[in-house]
Amino acid sequence: MTEASIYRKFLTLNREALLMSATAAQSADTRVLGQLGVEPDAVPLLKDMKASDLDKLENFPASLLEVRFNRHNMAQLLQRINDEGESTDLVDRAIRGGIRQPQINQLSGISRREFDQRCKMLGLTPKTPGRVNAFNERQEIQVDGCWKKLKELMGDGSDTLLERLVEAHEETGASIDQIWNLVIEKI
């Protein structure tokens, strides 16, 4: 990033902060003024400010702002973004693994429309209603053994169910709807 582009970005931040301060001063919003750190003696000047005054920032050689992040809130936001990304990835892996919409709806609340959109985005056609092929005896033993191992590793809670289904699919190659019928529905 060039020095000029950094300056432009801070100029934009300065403009927005000044506009927000002037708006808060004009509407007597002391909460916003306090959060922005506006000194009381600046409030009358901000009240008199006009939109055309913002153009004078172009010639002002210094920044009006000290930008700092609240570490705690930033950490929470980044963790939430990460968790949502992992959740989205897990749902996409489940769809690729052959989970059906009612199953994913039960586990994560995904609607029919969102399921169809995700299938399309992943380049898959949504499954049509119908019978799920049953395992042969060898496959059933393999999937059942894998499922028991995953329950020991991850626990038996409902919060890990989708993750266990995906892991079982990836380990055995069996479709998630088939695994579901074996371990959840006991068919």
Count the Cβ atoms, other than its own, within 10 Å of residue 127. Answer: 16
Average pLDDT over residues 157-181: 90
What is the pLDDT, as a whole number, of residue 187?
Answer: 62
pTM over 0.75: no
Q: What is the mean pLDDT of residues 127-154?
A: 85
Q: Give the pLDDT score at 92.
A: 94
Whether 44 has a pLDDT exceeding 80, the answer reads yes
In this prediction, residue 95 carries a pLDDT of 94
- Report how far residue 121's alpha carbon sits from residue 28's, in angstroms, rounded to the nearest whole number: 48
Calpha distance 57→14 (Å, rounded): 8
The whole-number average pLDDT for the span 116-143 is 85
Q: Report, as an integer, the average pLDDT of 156-160.
A: 75
- The packing angle between helices 71-96 and 112-121, to 10°, is 80
Question: Over the stretch 80-127, which tens digit does the pLDDT of each residue have?
Answer: 998 888 889 999 999 999 999 999 999 999 999 999 999 999 999 867
**Signed CA dihedral, 19, 22, 25, 26: sign only:** negative
Residues 6+ apart with CB under 8 A from 56: none
